Amino acid sequence: MTRQSIAVMASGRGTNLAAILEAANNGKCPVDVRVVLSNKVDAPALQIARDAGVDTILFINPKDYPDRVAYDQACSKVIESHQCDWVVLAGYMRILSSGFVSHFENRLINIHPALLPSFTGADGVADALAYGVKFSGCTVHLVHEEVDAGPILAQASVPVLNDDSVESLHQRIQKEEYTLYPNTLRRLVEEEFHLEGRRVIWHT
């Protein structure tokens, strides 16, 4: 089976990174996590990467760079030096510069805890619950300059229950994320796609 290399950028707990690493180790996701980058020195994702034996694990401090563009250029150099095929955002809590996004056009993906295009932004779970939707879920999408607005690669839905809190709904969404993200990465490796406007057309 062909394997492709990925860089993962994470700021937090790293649960989606852990799911990807587990799927890769089990042969369910044909990727090699070659690089893990974080903008947070204490991000648990870094320890998850260390425990998994990822070759390159770096905290890159934003304070060491004059602006967002310079910071993103430093990240880009690391990713390119390791010849990564895909850049995977897994709880990465920085808005990327337009130059970074364009450099990795159609190779940069993210997962969002809502059914896009609804409920974009950092509070997608809470916003969906407050709105009163009966279904929510998660979306894997290509990253474009506008936040949470890139073409949709895959989605999974969950019911919103009458007694849901933000926490309980988020937990149910995350359970779907841990399957959807590795499965979408597998499709990206094994299949091709093209864009028709905003629509992702998979070549199955």
Q: In the 3-class helix/strand/coil scheme, how is 169-196 assigned residue by residue?
A: HHHHHHHHHHHHHHHHHHHHHHCEEEEE
pLDDT digits (tens, 9 = 90+) for 152-191: 999 999 999 999 999 999 999 999 999 999 999 999 999 9
Residue 106: per-residue pLDDT? 95
Q: In whole angstroms, give the CA distance from residue 34 to residue 82.
A: 7
Residue 86 phi/psi, 5-degree rounding, is -135, 150
Residue 14's identity, in one-letter code, is: G
C-alpha pair distances (Å), 81 with each of 12, 13, 14, 103, 110: 24, 26, 23, 14, 22
Q: Where are the beta strands (DSSP E) in 15-134?
A: 31-38, 56-59, 86-89, 108-112
Catalytic residue among 112, 141, 144, 170, which? 112
Strand, coil or helix: 126: helix
Cis peptide before 117 (omega within 30 of 0): yes
Q: Find, among 28, 38, 27, 33, the residue nearest to 5 by Cα.
A: 33
Superfamily of domain 4-203: Formyl transferase, N-terminal domain (3.40.50.170)
- To 5 degrees, how large is the angle CA 103–CA 108–CA 110? 145
Q: Where are the domains of the chain?
A: 4-203
Residue 204: per-residue pLDDT? 78
Q: In whole angstroms, give the CA distance from residue 108 to residue 104.
A: 6
112 is catalytic: yes
* pTM (global) more than 0.85: yes
Q: In whole angstroms, give the CA distance from residue 151 to residue 147.
A: 11
Residue 33: per-residue pLDDT? 97
Residue 3: per-residue pLDDT? 84
Question: Residue 153 in contact with residue 141, Cβ under 8 Å?
Answer: yes
Locus of tokens 């990240």? 75
Q: Which residues of the chain have pLDDT under 50?
A: none
Q: Find, among 116, 120, 77, the residue nearest to 95 by Cα.
A: 120
Residue 153: per-residue pLDDT? 98
Q: In whole angstroms, give the CA distance from residue 48 to residue 35.
A: 12
Locus of tokens 């619950």? 129
